[in-house]
Chain A
């Protein structure tokens, strides 16, 4: 009998642990929504900040994050997909392939602040871009590259070998096969991974801290060599660096909520897309 009792104890213990984690997540999300929602209105989303962020809106931060994400994807998506195609369709098990894989794993593990230092050293200083949108996008692109490559490869591998063999047997060349018979079936899977990359790029603060972000800049960027404001950095400033921290607390909650909606919305889209693909292509 004793064993049954202790079994029950352990069962409930780990059940409580699991639901405690759920509770913590829920309370983070709830707290931000509860305090942020009343502050958000049309004016908050569409006007310039005034009085060093204490009043007005967050338009330049939203626009800045949007530009950063778009720029990052323009660089990272083609690079990542091409690498994934090479690794999944062309690469033979060789020392070179192994090195590429090691490089991807290494990149995936590099801390975001180190990417910031790298971006500062290479793009900002060595290439002379200065603190600018383009330096930030290139830095973030290096950071999200592994996510896009790994999910791209997974999507390509999910396409059955028979589809390739059928096309090759009909006399198509390797590239024709990939282009016409493999990519169309894996493109949505690749998009899923890229969307996750977008979420990561939008929420990351440390790399843009050193390469692009402006403390307070109430105007929109005109060229890729301009500095921009960004939502995560704006939140950090409002939360801990602002001289009048208590007064701007509602603004901080609202900024956090906008960022949360953006990132979680993007991630949710990726998850839904994944479910849709699994239903659509069941080989």
Chain B
């Protein structure tokens, strides 16, 4: 009898431990909401839609998160523009064209990049990339959205490569053999058969990469100059949502309107990445079944 009780106890214990993940997710939403909540009453959600982020001002503070959203979007778009060709190109090369030994070396080497802390990449960007951009484009300052986009692409590319490489390699060999047997060349087979067949996986890889980019904090904070402008010009300085939270949270008074506003920004960020992740997982799942 004792053994049965023990079995049940163990199962219950494991079950309740497993539930903590759900508990954590719920409490993330609850505690972000709790700290952001009073903002809805005073000064009201309408304040968030204003076009100026000026949390400290002698006349009137304003907490419009539009410049922060456009800042994040601009940096993300720039990163995505670099991430897509580089990520797909490299994953096709590694999975289909590289020699076996070459692949064995390239893959772990690129995986190393995924391990470099973002603050180190940000530091590298600050001392190397920013002066480079300044000199190349003759700008008064190299702290630009472009610098942020490039650094974020560097950070997200390993994720993109490793997931889309898996997708490309799991395309059945019979597809490729059929294409080659019909007289298609190796390149034709890759671009007309293998890549289209792996496209859902590649798409999911890019979406997960973008999710990582939107949420990245330190690297962008160090190189984008952090001016809250609404702009689509890559050579302007921008302030992203993540950088705003990280830079300003240390200075705000607990419970102030500014403090609440930063939690609102956090919720927007959380919802954006949550949405991207759910869609990416759906795409991945669909692809696995097919």
Contacts and interface: CB of A to CB of B under 8 A. Distances in A.
B180 interface: no
Contact of A203 (B31, B109, B119, B278): B119
A87 B19 CA distance: 11
Interface in A161-215: 173-175, 199, 202-206, 209-210
A3 to B, nearest CB: 6
5 nearest A-B residue pairs (beta carbon): A111-B215, A203-B117, A121-B31, A109-B277, A82-B17
Interface in B257-290: 262-263, 266, 269-270, 273-274, 276-278, 281
B16 to A, nearest CB: 9
Contact of A174 (B7, B113, B123): B7
Contacts of A117: 31-32, 35, 245, 249, 262-263, 266
Given A18-B106, A106-B274, A173-B3, A206 B218 contact: yes
Given A28-B124, A113-B217, A86 B186 contact: no
A67 B191 CA distance: 50
Given A21-B157, A122-B27, A209-B250, A99 B22 contact: yes
Contacts, number: 246
Interface in B90-119: 90, 92-94, 97-98, 106, 108-113, 115-119
Contact of B119 (A3, A104, A174, A205): A205
B22 A32 contact: no
B207 to A, nearest CB: 10
A11 interface: yes
Contact of B17 (A32, A83, A239, A240): A83
A204 B117 contact: yes
Interface stretch (A41-49, A50-58, A220-228, A255-263): A255-263
Nearest to A268: B112
A79 B242 contact: no
Contact of A240 (B92, B112, B116, B126): B126
A114 B20 contact: no
Contact of A205 (B97, B98, B109, B218): B218
A29 B187 CA distance: 34
B125 to A, nearest CB: 9
Contact of B249 (A120, A145, A252, A259): A120
Nearest to B213: A111
B97 to A, nearest CB: 6
A31 interface: yes
Interface in B7-26: 7, 10-11, 13-15, 17-22, 24-25
B287 to A, nearest CB: 15
Contacts of A113: 215, 217, 242, 245-246, 266, 269
Contact-residue bracket for chain B? 35 or more
B85 interface: yes
A82 B14 contact: yes
A110 B120 CA distance: 21
Interface of A: 3-4, 6-7, 10-11, 13-15, 17-18, 20-22, 24-25, 28-29, 31-32, 78-79, 82-83, 85-87, 90-91, 99-100, 103-118, 120-122, 125-126, 142, 145-146, 149, 173-175, 199, 202-206, 209-210, 232-233, 235-236, 239-240, 249, 252, 256, 259-260, 263-264, 267, 271
Interface of B: 3, 6-7, 10-11, 13-15, 17-22, 24-25, 27-28, 31-32, 34-35, 85-86, 89-90, 92-94, 97-98, 106, 108-113, 115-124, 126-128, 154, 157, 161, 185-188, 191, 208, 211, 214-218, 222, 242, 245-246, 249-250, 254, 262-263, 266, 269-270, 273-274, 276-278, 281
Contacts of A173: 3, 6-7
Contacts of B191: 10
A227 B194 CA distance: 53
Contacts of B98: 18
A105 B277 contact: yes
Given A111-B216, A210-B249, A32 B25 contact: no
Contact of B121 (A28, A86, A199): A28
A252 B123 contact: yes
Given A3-B185, A110-B215, A126-B34, 18 more contacts: A6-B187, A7-B187, A21-B90, A21-B110, A25-B110, A25-B116, A28-B124, A29-B116, A85-B14, A86-B14, A109-B274, A110-B273, A114-B270, A117-B31, A202-B117, A209-B249, A209-B250, A232-B218
Given A17-B86, A111-B214, A32 B18 contact: no
Given A31-B124, A111-B273, A205 B222 contact: no
Given A7-B185, A83-B21, A103-B21, A121 B32 contact: yes
Given A13-B89, A260-B116, A82 B13 contact: yes
Contacts of B3: 173
Candidate in B17, B120, B246, B270 with the most chain A CB atoms within 10 angstroms: B120
Contacts of A21: 86, 90, 110, 113, 157, 161
Given A109-B277, A116-B245, A205-B117, A256 B18 contact: no
A25 B154 CA distance: 8
